[in-house]
A and B are shown apart, each in its own frame.
Chain A
Amino acid sequence: MTVHTGQSTAKAAGEGARGRGRATGERPGRLRRALSTHWYAWTMVAPVVIVLGVIIGWPLGRGIYLSLTDANERNVGRTIGANHIDATYKFVGLDNYVDVLNDPVFMQRLWWTVVWTVCCVASTFLLGLVLANMLNREFRGRAAYRMMLILPWAVPGFVSVFAWRFLFNRDNGLLNKVLDGGGISAVPWLDDPTWAKFSVIAVNVWLGVPFMMVAILGGLQSIPGELYEAAEMDGAGPWKRFVYITIPGLRSVSSTVILLSTIWTFNMFPVIFLLTRGGPGDSTEILVTQAFRQAFVESPRDFAGSATWGVLILAVLMIFALVYRRSLRKQGEVW
């Protein structure tokens, strides 16, 4: 048994250049052969496949289905004590999508979500790039600066958000006290739509810069030093070296971190939910917080509406990922 599987996976674990598994042919015994060859691999990935299938696949399918119904708190099936109430919601086709897309609220939220994502990602990336370039030099105290600069990353996000809420407090927050000390009147950080937008972006940038910085730093260190020396020999100044060596050298790292942080920011729930609850009014509500609000904050809970928003968010992200991937392909990236 051991010997047999050892041999078969030995082959499988080799280079696999022969395209194992690509052969098509439905001869009897093929399944058994495949099983005996691949059972180790399949067993090892089984937990993930099961987890993904049951806990992501099923809810995803169900979410899409819910978005085609009129499900809400009142008509979904539920069990209260010993009584079971059957679900009474019904299939309504694409009505929810028509409603949401015709509702100006969706476009408002989408627009603000895009603004929020672009501002956050652009600012974190630029700040991360600047700081990484500084930290990539040799000077005294570099390790200490590095430690301090990654600190926001080490603190759980929701703790940081509360810390900022504390600093932003209109009457008692430190920021306003400092401004007051400088003779500047208090700023309604979280109570005015424009300032609230500024504040949530600032906090998210604060949270996101350490990751960007460290990722870019890793990318910088993988650029061979000889390139810089050669460029310097040729008389290229610091700016030219930055533009012609550093930027191209960082391309694969930056394309990855920009994609990741765009997706994360687009779906960034805690910052907005905990800092402003989408307020004041609904001025900082992004798509995901809106979807959450419909299902868990408002009454009656609108499950179908929330699911519809969820599907639309996923669609927007998928389109973004496809466009992004295509634009990278054009530049010759493999991703």
Chain B
Amino acid sequence: MSSQRGKRSPLASVGLHATLIGASVIAVFPVLWVLLTSLKPAKYAITTDFFKDTTLDNYRYLVDKTSFFTWFGNSALIAGVTTLLGVFISATTGYAVSRFKFPGMRPLMWTLLITQMFPMAILIVPLYNLMGQLGLLNQPVGLIITYLTIAVPFCAWMMKGFFDGIPVEIDESGRVDGLNPFGTFWRLILPLAKPGLAVTAFYSFITAWGEVAYSSAFMVGDENLTLAGGLQTFVTQYTANWGPMTAASVLIAVPAAVFFLFAQKHLVAGMTAGATKG
């Protein structure tokens, strides 16, 4: 802000940096601590030494002695498919809602907004019974369908905000060139909406990657767990296997963090635009 430039006293400057450093330490430290602990032998996990006999043993233990990679694979499959489907479905819907006026549009928009309010508590029991009847408990497909219900309403809402920001003239020029509406959407608009797609993809991915309640309820048996369920097996009420647990945490956080870095610039624009432009 230009009005502030050059006017800050040294004392204010110190205060500013001190506050931000304090906040940054609080933000970063828990994550950093987990990373450092994962590199220590398990028996030192609970010591306060930052470095002690740095080793990859915890990671080795994860690979050799636990089903970590099975869980990782389950989560990757579920999150990947959820992301693909979620992005595609919500992009077409967002486009239709942004560009066409059609009967049923307003109720649809309201439904998308209201479903964000639904607590999983009301859906989880019927969904559990439904999945049970369809034989989809313990199946990735069951969770993918469930996660789509969480991700799609919000994503469609965000995508509408992004499409609203793309001038209608582009659609018109596409039609002049003889493209049909879907062709316009696919060839012209979608490439322009890349930031929106990135946000939608990230949101769908993180929803599926980090979901706890449905996966705890729907998936049982060591080989069917997702990461959220698998990690719980390391820490029970009374015992905690902190060494491997921290190593697993690091491996789980990395893909999400990488994805996040790509999407974060556009993330909030999408989230708040979607919700305010109703």
Interface flag for A178 (CB, 8 Å): yes
- As a 0/1 sequence over residues 33 to 55 of chain B, the CB contacts with chain A under 8 angstroms (1 = contact) are 11001000000001010000000
- Which listed residue (A48, A158, A288, A321) contacts B117, Cβ 8 A? A321
Q: Which residues of B contact A181 (CB under 8 A)?
A: 48
A-B contact count (CB 8 A): 326
- Which listed residue (A12, A41, A138, A158) contacts B210, Cβ 8 A? A158
Q: A38-B100, A44-B96, A56-B118 are in contact. Are A155 and B253 (CB under 8 A)?
A: yes
Q: Closest B-chain residue to A127, C-beta based?
A: B23
Interface flag for A197 (CB, 8 Å): no
- Which listed residue (B92, B121, B168, B275) contacts A313, Cβ 8 A? B121
Instruction: Determine whether the beta carbon of A229 is less than 8 Å from that of B3.
Output: yes
Interface flag for B256 (CB, 8 Å): yes
- Which listed residue (A2, A229, A263, A267) contacts B2, Cβ 8 A? A229
Interface flag for A123 (CB, 8 Å): no
Chain B at the A interface: mostly helix, strand, loop or mixed?
helix
Instruction: Determine whether the beta carbon of A317 is less than 8 Å from that of B119.
Output: yes
| A contact residues, total (Cβ < 8 Å) | 116
Q: Closest B-chain residue to A76, C-beta based?
A: B129
- Which listed residue (A155, A169, A318) contacts B256, Cβ 8 A? A155
A177–B46 alpha-carbon span in the complex (Å): 9
Instruction: Determine whether the beta carbon of A174 is less than 8 Å from that of B210.
Output: no
Q: Closest A-chain residue to B129, C-beta based?
A: A76
Interface flag for A184 (CB, 8 Å): no
Interface flag for A247 (CB, 8 Å): no
Instruction: Determine whether the beta carbon of B92 is less than 8 Å from that of A152.
Output: no
Central interface residue in A38, A138, A154, by most chain B CB within 10 Å: A154
Interface flag for A335 (CB, 8 Å): yes
Interface flag for B72 (CB, 8 Å): no
- As a 0/1 sequence over residues 162 to 176 of chain A, the CB contacts with chain B under 8 angstroms (1 = contact) are 111111010011100
A267–B211 alpha-carbon span in the complex (Å): 13
Instruction: Determine whether the beta carbon of A44 is less than 8 Å from that of B33.
Output: no
Instruction: Determine whether the beta carbon of B272 is less than 8 Å from that of A134.
Output: no
Central interface residue in B90, B103, B185, by most chain A CB within 10 Å: B103
- As a 0/1 sequence over residues 79 to 105 of chain B, the CB contacts with chain A under 8 angstroms (1 = contact) are 000000000011011011101111111
Q: Which residues of A contact B116 (CB under 8 A)?
A: 260, 263
A136–B5 alpha-carbon span in the complex (Å): 12
Q: A151-B27, A155-B31, A166-B242 are in contact. List 7 more A-B contacts (CB 8 A).
A: A134-B16, A135-B20, A157-B210, A160-B31, A163-B246, A232-B3, A310-B122
Sorted nearest first, the 3 A-B pairs with minimum C-beta distance are: A310-B122, A16-B101, A291-B121
Chain B contacts to A: CB under 8 angstroms: 1-5, 8, 13, 16-17, 19-20, 23-24, 26-28, 30-31, 33-34, 37, 46, 48, 89-90, 92-93, 95-97, 99-105, 108, 111-112, 115-130, 132, 145-146, 148-149, 152-153, 156, 168, 171-172, 175, 178-182, 185, 206, 209-210, 212-213, 216-217, 227-228, 231-232, 235, 237, 240, 242, 245-246, 249, 252-253, 256-257, 260-261, 264, 267-269, 271-272, 275-276, 278
> Could you list 10 A-B pairs, sorted by A, with CB under 8 Å?
A10-B172, A48-B93, A59-B122, A60-B123, A134-B19, A215-B268, A256-B276, A257-B272, A287-B121, A288-B121
